[in-house]
């Protein structure tokens, strides 16, 4: 009997020791992958031992405040000159089809943080001041916003007074000799920013062009899982005229008979998880193209359009949210919210 008891104790001790060794090996593996891949402590191990980001938990549900007064909605009255929903039932946001008082009340309860990225390399630093000053007047007013500015000239970034719960982080990046390379490098930078700094910190992210200026509200009506902006040049033309990548050799290839809308590369966003998947996929496709010595016609914008064709946005923003000139009007545009700044591209770009 004594021998059996001793054997049982040895077996149990061996099982406990094996478990401790296994857990220690997993912890070491986790630490090694965190070091090698740059992930932070907010990530977790899956059953397969793969490091996966642990996204910040969101408050679900559109809860309205009691006693809030706003205009009565109608199912019969609204915009009739534009489409307000896509074929896959995603809303298309235009002036006149949302109530700002109601939507702000709903989302301000959620204590959200909106990360916002812009790139200002070379002479594009001249656009930083107008962008940030106008954003402070119109962009997610009353919400917590953290701007991330990527630049090769941190010393040229002007001081801009930020409002309460608004902040700016400047990150230095290498200079590049071609604007096309600057364009294509954005996806990788955004992918790594989400992995290394934004996980478990922000709720949503928008990626915008710096050579733009806000003239009207850009607020909580734009929040969604995956958000694309319909391009101002191509919102009213047939898909055969879209400037998609038409060469089958490219991973961004879209045949002439396919396509939904043409999306602007100057503005896109959504939840961290969805934008991370977008940027990672586009970065991988750009790298495959580069390995095959091909560059899509509009670089990352071409790959963005291919991604949105296969992964439908959950919300679409009308060209109000990325117009091409504040002095140019179209009948459908009741308000210009964000617009490109007129410029001489030969003067600001490092190459033709």
Q: Determine if residue 211 is labeled as part of a ligand binding site.
A: yes
Q: Would strands 263-271 and 226-230 be described as parallel, antiparallel, or unpaired?
A: antiparallel
Q: Determine if residue 231 is labeled as part of a ligand binding site.
A: yes
Calculate helix-pair angle for 272-291, 179-193, nearest 10 degrees: 140
Put simply, whether the predicted model's pTM sits higher than 0.85 gets the answer no
Other Cβ atoms less than 10 A from the Cβ of 304: the count is 24
Residue 85 token pair? 């929903």
Query: Per-residue confidence of the chain (352 residues) as pLDDT tens digits?
Result: 444 445 444 434 455 445 444 445 444 444 444 333 444 444 554 444 555 677 776 666 888 888 999 999 999 989 999 999 999 999 999 999 999 999 999 999 999 999 999 999 988 899 999 999 999 999 999 999 999 999 999 999 999 999 999 999 999 998 766 545 665 678 999 999 999 999 989 999 999 999 999 999 999 999 999 999 999 999 999 999 999 999 999 999 999 999 999 999 999 999 999 999 999 999 999 999 999 999 999 989 999 999 999 999 999 999 999 999 998 889 999 999 999 998 666 666 665 5
Q: How far is it, in rounded angstroms, from Cα 2 to Cα 255?
A: 79
Radius of gyration of the chain (CA): 24
Q: Determine if residue 245 is labeled as part of a ligand binding site.
A: no
Q: Determine if residue 243 is labeled as part of a ligand binding site.
A: yes
Known catalytic membership, residue 301 = yes
Beta partners for residue 52, in sequence order: 44
SS3 assignment, position 114: strand
Beta partners for residue 208, in sequence order: 267
Q: Determine if residue 301 is labeled as part of a ligand binding site.
A: yes
Q: Exactly one of 245, 295, 300, 301 is catalytic; which is it?
A: 301
Return the sign of the alpha-carbon dihedral for residues 21, 24, 26, 32: negative
Long-range CB pairs of 177-183 (<8 Å, 24+ gap) are: 177/350, 177/351, 178/350, 178/351, 179/349, 179/350, 179/351, 180/295, 180/299, 180/351, 182/119, 182/121, 182/350, 183/265, 183/299, 183/300, 183/301
264 φ, ψ to 5°?
Answer: -80, 130
């Amino acid at each position: 009997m004594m021998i059996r008891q001793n054997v049982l104790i040895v077996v149990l001790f061996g099982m406990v020791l094996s478990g401790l060794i296994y857990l220690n090996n997993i912890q070491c593996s986790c630490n090694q992958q965190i070091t090698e891949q740059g992930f932070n402590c907010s990530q977790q191990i899956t059953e397969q031992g793969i490091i996966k980001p642990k996204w910040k938990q969101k408050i679900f549900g559109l809860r309205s405040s009691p006693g809030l007064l706003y205009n009565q909605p109608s199912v019969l009255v609204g915009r009739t000159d534009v489409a307000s929903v896509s074929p896959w039932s995603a809303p298309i946001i235009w002036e006149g089809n949302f109530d700002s008082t109601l939507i702000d009340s709903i989302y301000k309860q959620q204590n959200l943080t909106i990360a916002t990225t812009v790139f200002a390399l070379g002479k594009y630093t001249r656009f930083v001041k107008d962008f940030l000053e106008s954003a402070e007047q119109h962009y997610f007013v009353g919400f917590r916003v953290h701007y991330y500015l990527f630049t090769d000239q941190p010393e040229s970034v002007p001081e801009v007074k930020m409002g309460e719960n608004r902040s700016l982080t400047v990150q230095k990046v290498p200079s590049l000799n071609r604007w096309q390379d600057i364009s294509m490098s954005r996806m990788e930078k955004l992918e790594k920013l989400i992995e290394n700094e934004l996980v478990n910190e922000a709720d949503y992210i928008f990626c915008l062009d710096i050579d733009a200026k806000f003239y009207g509200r850009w607020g909580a009506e734009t929040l969604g899982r995956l958000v694309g902006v319909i391009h101002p040049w191509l919102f009213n033309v047939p898909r055969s005229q879209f400037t998609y990548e038409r060469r089958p050799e490219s991973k961004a290839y879209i045949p002439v008979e396919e396509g939904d809308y043409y999306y602007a590369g100057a503005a896109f966003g959504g939840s961290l998880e969805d934008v991370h998947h977008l940027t990672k996929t586009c970065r991988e496709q750009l790298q495959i193209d580069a390995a095959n010595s091909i560059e899509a016609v509009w670089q990352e914008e071409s790959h963005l359009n291919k991604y949105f064709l296969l992964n439908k946005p959950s919300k679409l923003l009308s060209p109000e949210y990325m117009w091409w000139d504040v002095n140019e009007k179209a009948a459908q545009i009741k308000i210009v919210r964000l617009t490109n700044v007129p410029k001489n591209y030969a003067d600001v770009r490092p190459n033709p």
